[in-house]
Amino acid sequence: MALYSEKVMDHFLHPRNVGVIEDADGIGEVGNAKCGDIMKIYLKIDNDIITDVKFETFGCGSAIASSSMATELIKGKPISEAMELTNKAVAEALDGLPAHKMHCSVLAEEAIQKALEDYKSRQGK
């Protein structure tokens, strides 16, 4: 059996939404280099809709795949829906992650939450 599902490998080898949004409305960074995983999410939000999202990740295959999948899941969605994204949903969308890699999906959830909080605090809401 392969280490990762075909979906994980697809998102790892062909990550979606890679990059930076220079004039982002919200940015969230989680993890640290000591543990070997850092995720940074950039959001562009218009009328409470996530119109664009980009990510940068330092980490293993599942960390990159989780970032890619999480950005796909929230792109074009209202903030309220993105707020409800769970790590479980990210892992399920990837057809599962190995048990010791589940923390990668948690990081993706946290990075999005943090970026949304950043957006809200910038809005003064």
Catalytic residues: 35, 104
- Is residue 56 involved in binding another protein (CB under 8 A)? yes
Alpha carbon distance 62, 97 (integer Å) = 7
Residue type, 21: I
The site for another protein, by CB under 8 A, has a size of 27
- Backbone φ and ψ for 54, nearest 5 degrees, come out as -135, 160
Give the footprint of another protein on residues 12-31 (CB under 8 A): 12-13, 15, 18-20, 29
- Backbone φ and ψ for 35, nearest 5 degrees, come out as -85, -10
Alpha carbon distance 54, 42 (integer Å) = 5
- Is residue 59 involved in binding another protein (CB under 8 A)? yes
Give the footprint of another protein on residues 98-117 (CB under 8 A): 100-101
| Interface residues toward another protein, by CB under 8 A | 9, 12-13, 15, 18-20, 29, 33-40, 55-61, 63-64, 100-101
